[in-house]
Amino acid sequence: MAENEYVLRTFNKGDEEAVAALVKRANADNVRSLSGGELWEWKYLHNPNFDPSLVAVAERKGRIVGCNHWLLRDIRLSGSSVCKAILCGDIAVDPDHRKRGLGKSLLLFLRSSSLSNAKGSVLSYMFSTPELGKRLYGPTIGYIQMPTATVRYAKRWSWKNVVRKVNEINTNPRQEDGLGKRATDNFAVVFHVIGAPPLTIALNGGRIRALEESIVDARLKITTDLATFTALSRKEKRVRRLLKAMLGRKLKVKGSLSSIIKLYQNLHRLEEIFR
Amino acid sequence: MLKNIGEYNIRKYEEGDETALASLFNNVYHGYAGFVPRTPEYWRWSCLDRPDVEKEGIMVVVNRGRIVAYVVVGKSGNIWESCVDDAHDEKALFSLVLERAIEYLTRVGSDLITLNLPSDDSVARETCEKLGLSELPPDVMFLSVLDFKQLLELLCSAKKDKLNSFDGDFLVKFKDAPSWISPFIMIKFKNGQTEIENENKSCEVLIETDTATFTSIMFGITKPLWALARLKLKIHPPWKLRRVLRLFSFMCLDDPWFFPRSDLG
């Protein structure tokens, strides 16, 4: 990161609107319309533990282009020992300023300042995907991946929101959705996710269709469980995960080799739908 | 099926419930590491004021005027918190609140349900599986120590009984300490007293390591012998190895970490 391009500082009164807008913009890939200002205001401004001095922002030419939120909490360690710990909340970097180490610099800015010591915090922790964690919170900053006794359960009984998302993408396509690419593709895949109704995704030129049913002439059928399906929707190490799931018989693919290749070529579209 | 079902009443959240709900949460989860104690104010912010939660999404089970179970469901499909008093029929109550949660989510147009459970809660896990929920990869936690002196003081006080018989001085030297972490920590045990200082003094045993390895050992992730074999940990003089291993085994944290979805940030 070219240090002189960016000014790192703590949050000031008056930054609220710019920071909330940035978090919304930076999270647009994950939650198209959920991460609005209302969510940010609730999560930080209305939080009983919110401390503005534990929020760092990066400015470029007077505009906030990055932010990192820390929240101070009391957590139990062992027996009756309770300590102050910092939960690292949203790290957001404007899409135009990514891949310049700004996220890491913001994290280091808060860690290396005397702020966390002044607050008496013993630990810093956060939740993330393993891939992002290894990249961002890697050994250079001294974070370790911590196994927990937390298990996650889920059930899907319909694809209503996937259908809604597809309609939204069709009405409001973004450049990075790749809808302009491979506009000649005509291709349909049926997902049979155990415990959920069948879902057909059909690519027809530049348009996508999602149907909560199995269409007979689909060129490709994928049968899997919800855990494998969720893991495959993530971009990182997907090919490795795909092969592992197939070898472990957790994923069954029925279709010609050419349709499998076509699916692979269109993964970026499915990724946007299932995110 | 819940026995004496007539004694249990399921209703939506009512103004003033938060004190009992926070207290139930604290009773159920206080044994886990990472537990964030709830005050009525914190519970109100964390559950009731959450943007995707409406009062109908907070279902409360009452038995003889006492709240014995509750679930907080967000329209996004997340079960932010779920609690059942283990003095009651956990299987039946958890099944009841979960079924109601799914009914509610279907009604508000959600198409999935997600919740976190402690891995040692076999009753809740069985109930989930019975209702057709599948286990998914969990959210991954990353942790870093900001103040080793304070951490060791806390661990020594939590493990006081075990450390009472311990005597001797240990100097921990971090090879990679950044400017904001002291590169030396002295741990002194004498007559049942423990003293921890950020200083470099000659002592009986020198433990040389890096911050990540030391953190991993203290949180029970890495075995000290494995760190030694990988040259991530050095002990001087080497014949004090058994003593250092004993110290680590006494001090390291072994409590399971659990986070409900409302604590993920």
- CA dist A247 → A138, A252, A253, B49 (Å): 30, 9, 11, 46
* Per-residue DSSP letter, A183: T
Q: Find residue B188's DSSP bridge partners.
A: B169, B195
Residues 109-138 of A with CB under 8 A from B: 111-114, 116-117, 120-130, 133, 137
pLDDT band, residue A207 (cuts 50/70/90): confident
Domain boundaries, chain A: 3-141, 160-274
CATH for A160-274? Answer: 3.30.1050.10
Q: Of the candidates B37, B39, B142, which has its C-beta nearest A133's C-beta?
A: B142
Residues 181-210 of B with CB under 8 A from A: 181
Determine the average pLDDT of the residues in B238-257. Answer: 92
Residues of B in contact with A86 (CB under 8 A): 146
The kind and range of the H/E element at A84 are strand A81-93
**Per-residue pLDDT tens digits for B57-108:** 999 999 999 999 999 999 999 999 999 999 998 999 999 999 999 999 999 9
Residues of A in contact with B215 (CB under 8 A): 142, 144
pLDDT of B185 above 80: yes
Backbone angles phi, psi at B60, to 5 degrees: -125, 135
Quick one: pLDDT at residue A180?
A: 45
Which ipTM score applies to this complex?
0.92
pTM of the model: 0.88
Q: Say how many CA atoms lie within 13 Å of A185 toward its Cβ.
A: 27
Residues of B in contact with A77 (CB under 8 A): 33, 154-155, 158, 253, 255
Residue in the structure block whose two tokens are 């700004």: A102
Quick one: pLDDT at residue A34?
A: 43
**C-beta separation of B208 from B234 below 8 A:** yes
Topology (CATH level 3) of domain A3-141: Aminopeptidase (3.40.630)
Chain A: closest CA distance from residue B238 (Å): 26
Nearest Cα to A94, choosing from A106, A83, A82?
A: A106
pLDDT of A2 above 60: no
- The rounded mean pLDDT for chain B is 92
Q: Which residue has the higher pLDDT, A234 or B225?
A: B225
- Residue in chain A nearest B111 by alpha carbon: A158
**C-beta separation of B155 from A183 below 8 A:** no
pLDDT of A177 above 60: no
Contact A152 B50 (CB under 8 A): no
Quick one: pLDDT at residue B95?
A: 95
Exposed/middle/buried for residue A232 (C-beta within 10 Å: 0-12, 13-18, 19+): buried
Q: Which residue has the higher pLDDT, A112 or B262?
A: B262
Chain B: closest CA distance from residue A95 (Å): 22
- Residue in chain A nearest B254 by alpha carbon: A78
Domain boundaries, chain B: 5-138, 148-251
Q: Long-range contacts: A199-203, Cβ < 8 Å, 24+?
A: A199/A159, A199/A162, A201/A166, A201/A270, A201/A273, A203/A266, A203/A269
Homologous superfamily (CATH) of B148-251 is SCP2 sterol-binding domain (3.30.1050.10)
The C-alpha atoms of residue B150 and residue B155 are separated, in whole angstroms, by 9
Torsion sign over Cα A76, A77, A81, A84: negative
* Per-residue DSSP letter, A120: T
Determine the average pLDDT of the residues in A152-178. Answer: 80
Quick one: pLDDT at residue A231?
A: 77
Contact A194 B134 (CB under 8 A): yes
The C-alpha atoms of residue A121 and residue B159 are separated, in whole angstroms, by 20
Residues 6+ apart with CB under 8 A from B207: B170, B171, B172, B173, B233, B234, B235, B244
**Token pair listed for A20:** 């909330």
**C-beta separation of B141 from A126 below 8 A:** yes
Q: Is A39 on the interface with B (CB under 8 A)?
A: yes
Pairing verdict, β A81-93 and A121-128: parallel
Quick one: pLDDT at residue B66?
A: 95
Quick one: pLDDT at residue A31?
A: 42
Mutation site for A-interface testing, chosen from B80, B126, B141, B156 by largest number of A Cβ within 10 Å: B141
**Token pair listed for B255:** 């409590």
**Token pair listed for B252:** 């390291």
Residues of B in contact with A146 (CB under 8 A): 141-143, 219, 221, 257
Residues of B in contact with A158 (CB under 8 A): 111
**R_g (Cα) of chain A, nearest Å:** 22
Q: Give the distance from CA A222 to its chain's centroid.
A: 24
AA identity, residue A88: C
Q: Give exposure, B27-65, as e/b (b: 16+ Cβ within 10 Å).
A: ebbeebbbbbebebebbbbbbbebbbbbeebbbbbbbee
Q: List, in sequence order, every beta strand (DSSP E) within chain B.
A: 8-12, 58-63, 66-73, 78-84, 112-118, 134-136, 140-145, 168-174, 184-190, 193-197, 205-209, 233-236
- Residue in chain A nearest B133 by alpha carbon: A155
The architecture (CATH level 2) of B5-138 comes to 3-Layer(aba) Sandwich (3.40)
pLDDT of A232 above 60: yes
Maximum alpha-carbon separation in chain B:
71
Q: Which residue has the higher pLDDT, A245 or B206?
A: B206
Residues of B in contact with A89 (CB under 8 A): 265
Residues of A in contact with B125 (CB under 8 A): 151, 153
pLDDT of B32 above 90: yes
Residues 6+ apart with CB under 8 A from B61: B8, B9, B10, B67, B68, B69, B70, B93, B96, B97
Quick one: pLDDT at residue A274?
A: 77
Give the count of beta carbons closer than 10 Å to the beta carbon of residue B265: 17
The C-alpha atoms of residue B221 and residue B213 are separated, in whole angstroms, by 9
**Per-residue pLDDT tens digits for A112-141:** 777 767 788 999 898 887 677 777 666 566
Instruction: Give the strand order in the sheet containing B193-197.
Output: B193-197, B184-190, B168-174, B205-209, B233-236
